Structure 1
């Protein structure tokens, strides 16, 4: 089974394109997702691809720093770069129906600066403001 569910914040405004020929909408974005390793907070940057009407809605209503939930599948692909090298990409493809859920807009922090920034060699955008807050008060959770 290939299923993934992610909650994170957009590192940049989503990029909307239309596929030549078919005219289908596609939206690419990167999610910044908090993780804790040995008590230290770190961030993973995950590329996401969204197709169809969801792509258009995401591009129209979400901006850098917005919180979003994505459900979909992991996909790997390769392509030949302009310099002749073979490049490999691993990304999350959102489910066609209900794969994108808008959770909130960018919060306004007191300092106004980005707490995280994406590595400069990554082609998917910059950092984001305000850390992810998770409500774990649901007592019906089995774990």
Structure 2
């Protein structure tokens, strides 16, 4: 059996960080994911999916994700239910994320030029431009200002690649 989902979309609101009574961090946010087709009015529709993250990933998402940012979420679908005040059973479908990748930097202004990720361990960038490595013990700083120049940017010079380097 397999329960795995990968989504790419934009946050519809800032993540909401809370803590359980035992002190475990949990963050919720909604991801708007475009459908791959248009409706009869030739408009693109979207699905709005509830995302839940836990522990260190929850705190990282709360600190660095914001409304409108493009993010990739990998996790599993979970359906829970409860009885509301009127005695009706309410079903809630959520994505429990175990990997979230930030697909836009804080400075890109929606351009999405570079991928920055966080999945409980990985690389990200703080708002001050300081790099950090995330570990199970927390964030460790390293380096100073990160070079924001695109290494694949075309500077007008020809690229010297031998035929032996090509995979085809």
- How does the TM-score come out when normalised to structure 1? 0.68
**8 Å Cα contact 2:38-2:45 kept in structure 1:** no
CA-to-aligned-CA distance 1:72-120 (integer Å, 9 cap, x gap): 000001011123221001110012xxx1111115528xxxxxxxxxxxx
Q: Distance in 1 between matches of 2:55 and 2:11?
A: 19
1:72 matched residue in structure 2: 75
1:11 matched residue in structure 2: 12
Q: Distance in 2 between matches of 1:38 and 1:66?
A: 23
Task: Spell out structure 1 runs of 4+ moving beyond 2 A.
Answer: 36-40, 105-108
Structure 1 unmatched runs, 5+: 109-143
Q: Distance in 2 between matches of 1:18 and 1:28?
A: 11
Q: Show the 5 A alignment for 1:1-143.
A: 1-20=2-21, 22-38=22-38, 40=42, 41-95=44-98, 99-104=99-104, 105=106, 107=110
Q: Distance in 2 between matches of 1:12 and 1:71?
A: 19
Aligned-residue CA RMSD (Å): 1.9
CA-to-aligned-CA distance 1:12-66 (integer Å, 9 cap, x gap): 000100011x210000000001113356311110111000100001011111001
Q: Distance in 2 between matches of 1:58 and 1:64?
A: 11
Q: Distance in 2 between matches of 1:63 and 1:51?
A: 17
2:137 matched residue in structure 1: none
Structure 2 unmatched runs, 5+: 112-168
Aligned length: 105
